[in-house]
Amino acid sequence: MLDTLLIGTIVHHKKYDYRGVIASFDPVCLADPTWYAKNRTQPSRNQRWYHILVDNSETTTYVAAENLEPAKIVEPVHHPLLVHFFFTYYHGRYYALALN
């Protein structure tokens, strides 16, 4: 089930065919109505929405859970912001520092 995708999971966007890593998520879409109205696919706002660092890019995206699946290829993602979210990659997943 997609609601169980965790921060650090490498994912694949089903519609736009890119890989990335989950940096954070919101329980529902928190984007403002103007941004949402410009979203090409208009998925339901009432599901988890994930902040994704896109592989081989400087792009970040905000994606509805229904458009994501765990990636089949879990090689490391290359993104300049990785070091701001994660401290290590191990066996197909990224891990963040625990904050107290």
> Along the 100 residues of the chain, how does pLDDT read in single tens digits?
445 799 999 999 999 999 999 999 999 999 999 999 888 888 999 999 999 999 999 999 999 999 999 999 999 999 999 999 999 999 999 998 766 5
**Domain boundaries along the sequence of the chain:** 2-95
Alpha carbon of 25 to those of 48, 87: distances in Å? 7, 18
DSSP per-residue letters across 13-81: ETTT--EEEEEEEESS--S-HHHHHH-SS---SSS-EEEEEETTSS-EEEEEGGGEEE-S--SPP--TT
pLDDT of residue 76: 97
Alpha carbon of 95 to those of 5, 32, 39, 73, 83: distances in Å? 13, 29, 30, 17, 11
Place of tokens 């990636």: 71
pLDDT of residue 40: 81
Q: Which fold has domain 2-95?
A: SH3 type barrels. (2.30.30)
CA distance 61 to 25: 11
